Amino acid sequence: MHSPPPTTTRRSISEGAEELLGREVPILDLGFVQPIDYMGNDFDIVQAARVSYGPSTRKVHDDRGLLRYLMRHRHTTPFEMCEVKFRCKMPIFVARQWIRHRTANVNEMSLRYTEAPDEFYVPALEDISIQAKDNKQGRDGEAIDPAIRAEVARLMRANQEETYAIYQRLAGELGIARELARSVLPVSLYTQWIWKIDLHNLLHFLSLRLDPHAQLEIRLYAEAMAAFTRAWVPLASEAFDDYRRQALALSRLEVAALGRILGGEDEASACEAAGLKGRELREFTAKLAAIRG
């Protein structure tokens, strides 16, 4: 018989994280994000930063102020002292995007050892969109005929049912090895993995995958992870929002144009003089609009 889990610990804990551990957050139609473990909290980040001064040095900043300084000046190693582990279930095509972040430890369900589940992603009708004309890798927000959306969903389900039936025949009736039979399955099939990452690299993941330009499906997973992160390390999350997510970075040309505008020059001539054009000009114009509110 297994011993009961300990009721006390000597490790640092986060009350916010403790409340959420083990809870599955539903994502898409069949997926989820489940935080299963973490190490460290806001205090551990500042303690890691202060060790540089030696053990006898008095604290010269409050925790929030030091955390904000670290984030503002991109002193990243103290944030690496915190880690989090998630269990996640997502369509394979989302996992293939996700795994491009090569700074985590990952262990994925293997279809060599286990039978593929009959679980496939079909987007909600309102999330079915046409290809964007000005973005080669994204959807267009333009409304489309509901009948087209319904037909797309029907075709997806029909393909999934057909390929899964083929897979079952290969791996069952014909006795083909699972590692080969799986090759017929589409990337809409759901997979699962355990994903462990330190806080610095998690924040980098979130900065990219929470962006409005990120694909909707992976953005929903990022939103669930961001919600846990805010509960786990609220001070670090606040600094991240202030200095990364909701901040604007300016290029050398943009700084030159902004300086001319602040000096009284009209926007068009300032941008032209600074050498801004094409997409870079459009991006700078969007930044000015965001600043003006």
Q: Active-site residue numbers?
A: 209
Helical (H) or strand (E) element with 96: helix 92-98
Contacts of 110 (CB under 8 A, 6+ apart): none
Block residue for tokens 């300016």? 250
Separation between Cα atoms, residue 287 and residue 223, nearest integer Å: 23
Is residue 238 within 8 Å of residue 66, measured between CB atoms?
no
Separation between Cα atoms, residue 172 and residue 161, nearest integer Å: 16
Separation between Cα atoms, residue 223 and residue 214, nearest integer Å: 12
Separation between Cα atoms, residue 144 and residue 138, nearest integer Å: 15
Give the count of beta carbons closer than 10 Å to the beta carbon of residue 191.
Answer: 22
**DSSP category for residue 132:** P
**DSSP category for residue 11:** S
Is residue 124 within 8 Å of residue 149, measured between CB atoms?
no
Is residue 86 within 8 Å of residue 35, measured between CB atoms?
yes
Q: How far is CA 284 from the centre of its chain?
A: 25
Contacts of 162 (CB under 8 A, 6+ apart): none
Reading the block at residue 133, the tokens are 């004309």
Reading the block at residue 56, the tokens are 């006898």
Reading the block at residue 100, the tokens are 């491009």
- What are the backbone angles phi and psi of residue 119, rounded to the nearest 5°? -135, 115
